[in-house]
Structure 1
């Protein structure tokens, strides 16, 4: 039932259960919502002075992202990427908002994985984005952190045509 609610499977009576296609409109909508909310989360994070242990935790996360990239473990990279973003929702006391984001992000996460397969070079850019975001937060630069966050989350759809070309049978709503 949960997989069906999250639109991960399609159940066709007297036929079978199938993995659902990725709804590109849902991907774009999820990115829009996440970008809108996360810019505000990051602005709030930039107004907080992090403890040394919080800063070190994020730096270790970034080092681990780099290692995941080196060994080409995309699942690990995406887990670490999510941990990085989740940290700021925790820091700003918006844990429940992160839970909401995860609920609407299902199709976006599926798309993100495929986009990394198509262009693994973008891992370097994503890590650099994370480093820039962290630096702006540590400098308490509210304006810059919002810009870096927006740019970072928009990257995911830059390769949309290449991802669809590589995996054409994986998507619905590609003409919207």
Structure 2
């Protein structure tokens, strides 16, 4: 588990929540990994009572699973939750991109271009999937910011904890250049106001995203045991 610097005026409980959630979302704490209240208390330097409260909060967010007579575990990636988040994200993003073709805060094009350039650099490097994943999320967030829908993006993030862990797993193996090329097309469509191209652009991106993680579910893949497959 990676420990981060404590923010100014951050309580021990808030710090523990932030550290644990970021470690779960970054896959430093693997799906299915056993968590010990005693060990977490020692590592984070706070008592077991706030640790227990933090674990209950993470449980309510579907990131922790408590198994009676067994222990507390990082939740497996639930494919039903992945599909719900995927549906919500792409349905809303299509509307946002169409709105952006009509009216967009053009000052954000500078940040979009810088973000895309950073993606291109990482795409030519080995590893870097965590940094690329952060850039990817920020890239999409900028479109929501550009049409004054930042709270909609936050709602998407809230439901996307399992989806984003799935994406991070796939980005460790994906050819990142493919994603960069798609993102470049996003910017071009908005700059040139090609609203008629948005639907096909989103559909292609959605199909690519889904296809990029299908191999993760194969039994021969070492990530296979990270998933909860509902039947």
Shift of residue 14 of structure 1?
Answer: 4.1
1:1-176 to structure 2, matched below 5 A, reads: 1-51=56-106, 53-71=107-125, 72-117=127-172, 119-121=173-175, 123-165=176-218, 166=221, 167-173=223-229
Paired residue for 2:14?
A: none
- Identify, as 1 or 2, the structure richer in helix: 1
The structure having more radius of gyration, on CA atoms, is: 2
Gaps spanning 5+ residues in structure 2: where?
Answer: 1-55
Q: Answer yes or no: is the 8 Å Cα contact 1:8–1:20 preserved in 2.
A: yes
Kindly indicate whether structure 1 or structure 2 has the higher relative contact order, using CA contacts under 8 Å at least 6 residues apart. Answer: 1
Gaps spanning 5+ residues in structure 1: where?
Answer: none
Taking structure 2 as the reference length, the TM-score comes to: 0.70
**Secondary structure in 1 matching 2:62:** coil
Partners of 2:150 and 2:161 in 1: how far apart?
17
Q: Answer yes or no: is the 8 Å Cα contact 1:40–1:146 preserved in 2.
A: no
Q: 1:110 to 1:47 in 2, by over 3 A?
A: same
**Secondary structure in 2 matching 1:159:** helix
Partners of 1:127 and 1:61 in 2: how far apart?
10
Taking structure 1 as the reference length, the TM-score comes to: 0.90
Q: Answer yes or no: is the 8 Å Cα contact 2:144–2:150 preserved in 1.
A: yes
Q: Answer yes or no: is the 8 Å Cα contact 1:45–1:137 preserved in 2.
A: yes
Runs of 4+ in structure 1 deviating by more than 4 angstroms, as ranges, are none
Q: Answer yes or no: is the 8 Å Cα contact 2:170–2:216 preserved in 1.
A: yes
Deviations 1:26-72 (A, max 9, x none): 11121111111110000001112543x42221111000011222332
